[in-house]
Chain A
């Protein structure tokens, strides 16, 4: 009888006590680890959420720059090519970042990239239209006088318009022997990054077009 009671009550009690003591020990010994784990887990989730949101907004931005927007890089490049005459973009040193429709001068566009603009201007004209030379001439003149410059830095409304130049063909000799002169009318503007009226603005180059006036002396 006594043995039966012992089996029925004491053994389970002993087991429960052993298990409880182990669990309590485990709980307290690993409590700080669990707390840290939960905290890191929640930090991880927060950062993940933020990152995902940023990724989403970036994707939206990239989509805005996408081709379905009318003003995209592809339409801009096409526009440069269809404008009648030569279109060009200069960097801050006056080298071509981009130039189109230069077959008329015997060049391929890619051959002129990185080259100075004087490469396509007749030597007689280069010094007359280069910013560093022109500005020296105008140093002591009235501010109302508006010099015309190929590598223009001013923006609208003081941009260079109707600047008359003679263009240089790649094979100059042959062309001049044939009495074929290529003239152009330049319109150019400076490019600035940032608010044009602020001190933080940064000059990033010039952009312009050359309207071709072929054989002007023969007309």
Chain B
């Protein structure tokens, strides 16, 4: 008697399991159709991604073209420094005997005459001005400038900063032809618009006009 009750009990449990399984299978078409919708969505997303990639490629090419056309127009030395003062981009520095690629990764002090480095390097100049109000006109000029032309006080960027530069092969005993004089125009650039409080300093852009 007990044995038959146990068998009936297990039988009922198995029946319950089978019913649940049938219920799942009856929902299967809906699951599949939902999956199908997701697939469609993904395909649409892929198409949109491809279109975005195409646009980025076009933008990249146009931007590169714009950058180089401008640089080729100006008869000036162009440089970009990173936040540590190392060259990350250089054009038209052949007048100092340097190939553009040779200067990449080097500190800007390598091209400045040792007698002038203390007058143009931010780390050395700014401590001298600590606590002094200079105003726009007397703001010190810096080779590795951080001020930007997009701030309200745009006149504080470096303009007409006189520098003496040295040729690649310059040494203390070199003659005058190894020293070039120029005017620097430089400004900092940031990773966001000036009003963004979270903006970060990216580096310095500058041009050098030989005098």
Q: Which A residues are within 8 Å of any B CB, using their own CB? A: 7-8, 11-12, 15, 19, 22-23, 26, 30, 33-34, 36-37, 40-41, 43-44, 47-48, 50-51, 54-55, 57-58, 61-62, 65-68, 70-84, 87, 89, 155-156, 159, 187-189, 191-193, 204, 207-209
Contact = CB atoms under 8 A, between A and B. Distances in A.
A209 B73 contact: yes
A208 B73 contact: yes
Contacts of A55: 49
Contacts of B50: 54
A83 B42 CA distance: 47
Nearest to A4: B3
A62 B56 contact: yes
Contacts of B140: none
A74 B209 contact: no
B31 to A, nearest CB: 7
23 contacts: A11-B4, A19-B14, A26-B18, A33-B25, A44-B35, A47-B46, A48-B42, A51-B46, A58-B52, A70-B82, A73-B63, A75-B202, A78-B189, A79-B70, A79-B205, A84-B159, A89-B66, A189-B72, A189-B73, A191-B69, A192-B65, A193-B61, A209-B74
Interface string B179-193: 000000111111110
Contact of A82 (B53, B67, B69, B205): B205
B36 interface: yes
B88 A82 contact: no
B62 interface: yes
Contact of B53 (A41, A44, A58): A58
B32 A40 contact: yes
Interface residues of B, number: 69
Contact of B35 (A23, A34, A40, A188): A40
B126 to A, nearest CB: 19
Given A58-B52, A62-B56, A159-B73, A19 B4 contact: no
